[in-house]
Amino acid sequence: MVVCSTSFVTLGRTQLTALGAPDTPIAVIPHPFGLRTRDEVRKIADKCVDEIARLALGGSDATQRGLTVRSSADRARQLEVPDDLEAFNTFCDERRWSDGLPLVPPTPERVTRMRGATPRAPHDVVTTVAPGFGTATVEAIAINAVMAGCRPEYLPVVIAAVEAVTEPSFNLQGIQATTNPVAPWIIVNGPIAPTLGINGGMNCLGQGTRANATIGRALHLVLQNIGGALPGEMDRATHGQPGKHTFCCAENEAENPWEPLHVERGFDAAQSTVTVVGAAGTHNFNSHAKDANDLLKVIADSLRFPTSNDYHFGGQPWLVLSPEHADIMKRGGLAKSDVKRRLWDESKMAASRFAVKDYVRAQHTRRPELGDIGPETLLPISREAEEIGIIVAGGPGTHSVYVPTFGQTRAVTRLIDPTAHEAR
């Protein structure tokens, strides 16, 4: 027996189907709850108990069956599709295989070339992808990479990103199905970034670089087409965000005054990695401060806002420091760990700044970490200073970027297959 609100019935049914229990009864309750009184919630609960009892006694369940997701490691089935590019994209639109942008037809020849970038067999299972728990084989990932416009040499990066987002600590299930505007952000480190031309410099989070655009897009097509997170169905985002099309960059290691991210996370500088972050958007910091203490003060103050999931849950917020801002902090005698500690201390927020219902929620979500929470309790943005993520990226300018997170997610770093280049 499963209980779902009306807005999540399709998600519940589809997941039950993917998990091999398509006929499990679903008791449906109305959505949303936010504006209901306690008496109204009590009445809903009473009706739900009656519905659960009815279904438990064999009553019929009329909830709509969900979508079909890829659930086996079989080779991909070949289809006859229109030769005309516009007609092909219409064909994909009608089947909801598209992200809304034009796709490259994944012909057998293109997919074979794409798979040539990895020594792994086409039917090798890389992982399963929530929320539909579709099976991501090497071939299935390659098909989506072709459609995204990737070059074959990008495939190992895409595979590593798919592996990373399906690690349990990343919480892909929550990220794919939430109403929050969350998108996986890929950060690439190591020699592979300049080799593939992945931009970590000027406009690294914007348009203009094929590697950034298509690697990020390929991951999101995998999440949609293999994971089954179609907008309005299993993907329940209230608004979404542009990063759900693509969100990928490299770190600007050449202008980073500290150790690069992948070295900080335990890898060798000569290795290449992807790090995935459950990002809830970007917020620009523009400060001409030239003193490290002054700069840290205004950045810390800018992190502090009461509708942030990072404060609700003790998240893992991220900063993209421009080379100029990073250099100011380095010249001020600060190591990266010093910056994290200062930001953690100086960005603490009084619980009284929450809305009443959010305050009650924070009392529940952060009590195991902080104990009893009163209005004047100072809440840190993350559970520990070390959980603040920092990379150096971007070009010239007095700008840095705050990347708030889903809160209930942790970044994951995976090694990019070092043998992949031998197969190209």
- In this predicted model, what pLDDT tens digit does every residue of 314-367 receive, in sequence order? 999 999 999 999 999 999 999 999 999 999 999 999 999 999 999 999 999 999
> Which pLDDT score is estimated for 16?
83
What is the per-residue pLDDT across 194-248, written as a single tens digit (0 to 9) for each? 999 999 999 999 999 999 999 999 999 999 999 999 998 889 999 999 999 999 9
Residue 139 phi/psi, 5-degree rounding, is: -65, -45
The reply to whether the predicted model has a pTM over 0.75 is yes
86, two tokens: 């516009």
Please tell me the distance from the alpha carbon of residue 114 to that of residue 106, in angstroms, as a whole number. 10
Q: Which parts of the chain sit beneath pLDDT 50? A: 66-68, 423-424
Q: Which residue's entry shows tokens 């069956």?
A: 65
Please tell me the distance from the alpha carbon of residue 193 to that of residue 243, in angstroms, as a whole number. 20
Residue extents of the structural domains in the chain: 2-56, 69-251, 281-404
Strands (E), 205-304: 248-250, 273-279, 283-286
243, two tokens: 């990063």
How many Cβ atoms are within 10 Å of 23's Cβ, its own excluded? 8
Q: Are 358 and 312 in contact (CB under 8 A)?
A: yes
Report in angstroms the alpha-carbon separations of 416 from 24, 50, 75, 129.
Answer: 40, 52, 24, 19
Q: Which residues pair with 235 in a beta bridge?
A: 231
